[in-house]
Amino acid sequence: MRNDYEGITFISVFSAQQLIYPFHSGLACFREPGEQCSYLRRVLEETAMQISAAVHHNQIVGYATLLPPDSEERWKALPYIRMMGALEVAPSYRRQKIARRILQRLFADARDIENQIVLALEYYWHWDLKNSGVDVYEYKRMLKRLLASAGMEEVYTDDPDIQAHAANFAMARIGRNILAEQMQEFFYLANPRVW
């Protein structure tokens, strides 16, 4: 699906063959842009992943991913959990609400989204603090506002990586068709010591 917004096209990608655009040189938070594009193509071939991307001048200038939990993660125990992976916008394209539009497209086009819980585990060591011009806690506040705009709410978890630093946090979007029992399973898995 496509949607134009101030010269930027927003697309959803569900297969490696659909990932036809190169990555902007500023998309380097996780890997070099070419390496990240190759990595995402491989993941698209291996798993049920979705990428929502912003395209400008025939290159991806921002993207977010939605995929199943890794096999070693605790979240794999619940088949209705999806993970929001990378969320990145090239520095020269920031402050234009592109990330917000990418998230809107991600959730609008996601298959069976109302039957899923989407979990975002946010670790400060993945954030582009150097180019943001803000400290880690202001970045955290900004990111929480962005994720909340997509219907996500904070989730308290004893996940060791989340607990490793006060700036780290987790948020989830619970689909409208998730049953009370599924929510209970999810919250127990998030923080069993509370139960």
Q: What is the pLDDT of residues 59-71, one digit of tens each?
A: 999 999 999 999 8
0.85 cut: is pTM over it?
Answer: yes
Type of residue found at 117: I
Top pLDDT among 119 and 108 is at: 119
The confidence score (pLDDT) of residue 1 equals 46
| Whole-number Å distance between alpha carbons of 167 and 121 | 11
Mean of pLDDT over the chain: 91
| Whole-number Å distance between alpha carbons of 190 and 88 | 25
Confidence of residue 5 (pLDDT cuts 50, 70, 90): low
Average pLDDT over residues 74-79: 95
Report which of 22, 18, 23 is spatially closest to residue 1, judged by C-alpha positions: 18
Asked whether the predicted pLDDT for residue 2 surpasses 60, the reply is: no
Average pLDDT over residues 163-171: 97
Top pLDDT among 92 and 31 is at: 92
Top pLDDT among 17 and 188 is at: 188
- In the chain, where are the structural domains located? 2-194
| Residue 44: how many other CB atoms lie within 10 Å | 21
Query: Is the CATH code 3.40.630.30 the one for domain 2-194?
Result: yes
Asked whether the predicted pLDDT for residue 24 surpasses 70, the reply is: yes
Alpha helix positions (H), the chain: 33-46, 98-109, 129-132, 136-149, 160-163, 180-190
Top pLDDT among 110 and 102 is at: 102
Confidence of residue 118 (pLDDT cuts 50, 70, 90): very high
Asked whether the predicted pLDDT for residue 4 surpasses 70, the reply is: no
